[in-house]
Amino acid sequence: MPQLIVTPTIDSTMDYGSPDTNFGQSGTISQGVLIAGGSKNAVRRAIANFDVSPIPISAVIAQARMRRAISLADVSQHSVRIARCARPAQWTENGVTWNRYDGTNAWITGGGEYDDLTPAAVSFVEAVAPGQHEIAGLAGFVRDALDLRSGVVSVVLRNENEAPLVSERSNWLAGTFWELIIDYNVTADPGRRSAIDDDSARSGTRPSVPSEGQRPARPSSGKGGRRS
């Protein structure tokens, strides 16, 4: 079965506590809620675009999963939701903030405009320890991107509860350490296109994590992807 592995073409963090600060060149993606001194000091959401256009539009998407190298995880177990970003072609890596999607123009709603319905958002239980972490069930995002978004999977990750009593955060390495892995079948009949994800589990962990450092340089094309 063919497989495509892509890393983000662009990715960043949006922070309610620093609403006009851009984190596009940070080596780490931060997501979740920071509680300090009994008060909510930060609410962070992750945002990224993945280019899946190398997959033939007639392909059947067997499964898709997201893999992250987590460098920090709070021990408080919590749920995170992945939803489609509603401005995939407008937000920019070096411009996006909590307040603005390109450094100039404001989001209608701070923290990124997202759609929980098309495709259906995916919720998962976040890791509580550093290491490799996978999120299954993203085939619908790939199918939606191929059919309706010129092959761009654009996502916003946010805590389902953004008013917790304790910190519920995770950090992971940006760029090439953040992957979308898609298994698909090629069919000659475009009418057979579908999104079927066979993974019943929403997440899993592996023991090791790459050492954290500066973000690796992206390919000159601006797109990270490979078939295997």
pLDDT in tens, 19-76: 999 999 999 999 999 998 888 889 999 999 999 999 999 999 999 999 999 999 999 9
Q: According to the model, what pLDDT value does residue 228 have? A: 53
Q: According to the model, what pLDDT value does residue 209 have? A: 41
Query: What are the backbone dihedrals phi and psi of residue 105, each rounded to the nearest 5 degrees, phi first?
Result: -95, 135
More reliable by pLDDT, 39 or 182: 182
CB contact set of 38 (below 8 Å; sequence gap of 6+)? none
Percent pLDDT > 70 in the chain is 82
Q: Total domain count for the chain?
A: 1
Q: According to the model, what pLDDT value does residue 152 have? A: 98
Domain that holds residue 122: 3-227
**Structural contact between residues 114 and 48, judged by C-beta atoms closer than 8 angstroms:** no
| Confidence grade of residue 135 (pLDDT, cut at 50, 70, 90) | very high
Q: According to the model, what pLDDT value does residue 219 have? A: 43
More reliable by pLDDT, 212 or 90: 90
Q: According to the model, what pLDDT value does residue 220 have? A: 40
Bridge partners (DSSP) of residue 8 are none
Question: Within a 13 Å sphere around the CA of 103, how many CA atoms are in the beta-carbon half?
Answer: 8
State the average pLDDT over residues 69-87. 96
pLDDT at 88 over 80: yes
pLDDT tens-digit map of 107-120: 999 999 999 999 99
Residue 223 one-letter amino acid: K
Question: Within a 13 Å sphere around the CA of 117, how many CA atoms are in the beta-carbon half?
Answer: 0
Q: The whole model's pTM is what?
A: 0.83
Q: According to the model, what pLDDT value does residue 223 have? A: 42
State the average pLDDT over residues 4-12. 98
